[in-house]
Amino acid sequence: MSAHSVEDIKAGSGRLRGTLLDSLANPVTGALADADQVLIKYHGSYQQDDRDLRDERRLAKLEPDYSFMIRTRTPGGVVTPAQWLGLDAIATTYAERGLRITTRQAFQLHGVIKGRLKPTMQAINAQLMDTLAACGDVNRNVAVAANPHESRVHAAVYAQAAALSDHLLPNSRAYYEIWLDEERVAGSGSEDDPIYGSAYLPRKFKIGFAIPPVNDVDVFAQDLGFIAVLEDGELAGYNVSIGGGMGASHGDPETYPRLADLIGFVTPGQVTAVATAVVTAQRDFGNREVRKRARLKYTLDDRGLDWFKQQVEARAGFTLSPARPFAFDHSGDRFGWVEGHDGAWHLTLRLLSGRILDGPDGAHLTGLREIAKVHAGDFRLTPNQNLVIASVPAAQRASIDALVDAHGLDGFRSASPLRLKSIACVALPTCGLAMAEAERYLPAITAKIESLLDAHGLIDAPIILRISGCPNGCSRPYLGEIALVGKAPGRYNLMLGADHRGQRLNALYRENIDEPQILAALDPLLADYAAQRHPAEGFGDFLVRTGVVTPRIGISLELAS
Ligand code: SRM
Ligand code: SF4
């Protein structure tokens, strides 16, 4: 759909209402009217169809097998055990393929048919959760370090992020009228929205809060990043980064992944003002002609970082202080138990691509249900599709461990570092943009790369593997030391050479290759790595040092001085 069509639909939607009520009531089709397919995203849902069944249904002259994906707005991925149990019941009743944890700490439900959308939305809201603005040209789910290691500041950073998430919600009662039967009142459809106006943003917008030394949120992949600065163990404020993003299109040099630039330091009390300033400047200056060039990263490259920063400071009403020192030591999650500052314990579990099901690998859905029944702390979804069972008293550790082991959730104890550090996006069969498999392919390709690692004595090497079914980059593949980016069924671009701190993008090594070619390309590189690496040198760093790939500019270079 052209940028102009999307802009017209947004502006003419009556603050996100469109004809959604009519589309939902239409019994003739499982789909929505075209414009409503755009608008439902702002309510946290996508119309999809089962791509495995497309050909069969076309031959049978049936419409595609339409259903809807629903995504929650769960800032920082924090949910209570009661909410977990509620979502489990909702997924079991209304959706297919269990619960899915996303790379932005949300839950996704897949396979909800049109007639069940409203009861599903109502059930989610009954759990004191919502899906508002989980998709669409607005600020999305705010990501927050799930890292339990710096537990002292987690609560403060999380509270700040949750408040910012609320502050940046679109001002419209449409969600409540359509899904929760709120009555329309005078002014409905023309609510004043000082942040978004009537045309919303030119494109999606993403915010992440990181707590060094762990860059689990991949903060430099976010449109707007806040990097917590701790002084004497306390939260002094945040370094601010802008202009990160992963999405690109194959063969289109006008689109590219980009790491964010640091623009300064703010106190906790300045966060809302600076975020509002960045969002509204992007609203006013982002590209509304070409959707592929509409993200903040392109606004910065087209108009200049310094110019944009001046816009931000003028709107915020203050000048940002110089960025303060910080250091990340790794991206991704650390697994197993860790003790927080207050003596409570946190257990990070590995979940394959975030999919929670009762399946051949274990009764994971049942196991987490049983844990939720006895757990009194909370759950934290990680930005790497994993799960932290947070705030467990020391005395309860053994009983949680027993439930973990009994339900096959103990994979983190024995899995290779490669497996633990792998992420794959959803891709087929639900994603309409997928060019190749990702989530369904991850187990097989991981096992094959593990065999190579084993052969070279590298099975303990902590290599970051990321797979995306297309170049949009939902698994943040351009930050993988090894990444596969889908090109066509069974064929991928092999990207190599990111670092392990989320501070350097990888680069294209081989284009459009199949599995035997991928393994053949990796084999000699791994052999060289095994023979020539420096102590503790990451695979990506090794490939850059030895000139196998030339890195694209990364934040690490700017911080080196
Ligand atoms: Fe994404 C579009 C899934 C995180 C970049 N993403 C999609 C859609 C909705 C496909 C579509 O537009 O029809 C996918 C739905 C698949 C399905 O069947 O569920 C989809 N994205 C996901 C999730 C579920 C991947 C996962 O396996 O966990 C993640 C949900 C996050 C959330 O909870 O909000 C997800 N997507 C990301 C990320 C990573 C991140 O945000 O940290 C990125 C890269 C960062 C970025 O935005 O630059 C990402 N998704 C995209 C893009 C490319 C945007 C661009 O700038 O070009 C698209 C396509 C688009 O927007 O046109 C996209
Ligand atoms: Fe779909 Fe592409 Fe995102 Fe994977 S990276 S979920 S294939 S849009």
Q: Specify whether 466 is catalytic.
A: no
Active site residue 71: yes
204 is a catalytic site residue = yes
425 is catalytic: yes
Q: Is the CB of 247 under 6 A from ligand 1?
A: yes
Q: What is the mean pLDDT of the chain?
A: 96
Helices (H), 181-295: 271-285
Atom of ligand 2 nearest to the CA of 470: 2
Mean pLDDT of 432-455: 98
Assigned token pair, 469:
């079914």
- To the nearest 10°, report the CA torsion of 267, 271, 274, 276: -170
Cα-based angle 392, 396, 402 (whole degrees, multiple of 5): 110
Q: What is the pLDDT of residue 561?
A: 31
Contacts of 286 (CB under 8 A, 6+ apart): 201, 202, 203, 294, 295, 296, 298, 299
Number of helices and strands in the chain (H, E):
19, 24
Identify the CA nearest to 424 among candidates 99, 142, 101.
101
Predicted confidence (pLDDT) per residue in 42-90, tens digit: 999 999 999 999 999 999 999 999 999 999 999 999 999 999 999 999 9
Q: What are phi and psi of 205, to 5 degrees?
A: -145, 135
**How far apart are the CA of 321 and the centre of ligand 1, in A?**
33
Whether 258 is catalytic: no
Dihedral (C-alpha) 194, 199, 200, 203: value to the nearest 10 degrees? -150
Instruction: Tell which atom from ligand 2 comes closest to the C-alpha of 434.
Output: 7
Largest CA-CA distance found in the chain, in angstroms, rounded: 73
For every residue of 19-42, DSSP letters joined together read THHHHHH-TT-SS--HHHHHHGGG
Task: Give the SS3 label for residue 304.
Answer: coil
Q: Dump pLDDT digits (tens) for 147-188.
A: 777 778 999 999 999 999 999 999 999 999 999 999 988 888
Q: Which ligand neighbours the alpha carbon of 291 most closely? A: 1
Q: Which of 293, 431, 476, 504 is catalytic?
A: 431
Query: Interior CA angle at 83 toward 121 and 32, to 5°?
Result: 15
The per-residue pLDDT for 560 is 34
Distance from C-alpha of 324 to C-alpha of 229, rounded to nearest angstrom = 7
Ligand 2 site residues (CB inside 6 A) read 425-427, 431, 433-434, 438, 468-470, 472-474
Q: Which tokens belong to 424?
A: 């794959």
Q: What span, in angstroms and rounded, lies between the C-alpha atoms of 336 and 347? A: 5
Ligand 1 contact, 473 CB (< 6 A): yes
Write down the pTM of the prediction. 0.97
B/e letters for 303-322, b = 16+ CB within 10 Å, e = fewer, are eeeeebbebbbebbeeebee
Asked if 315 is an active-site residue, the reply is no
Q: What percent of the chain has pLDDT over 70?
A: 98
**Is residue 170 in contact with ligand 1, taking CB distance under 6 Å?**
no
Q: Would you say 130 and 101 are in contact if contact means Cβ atoms under 8 Å apart?
A: no
Given a contact cutoff of 8 angstroms between Cβ atoms, the answer to whether 374 and 399 are in contact is yes
Nearest CA to ligand 1 atom 24: 102
C-beta 46 within 6 A of ligand 1: yes
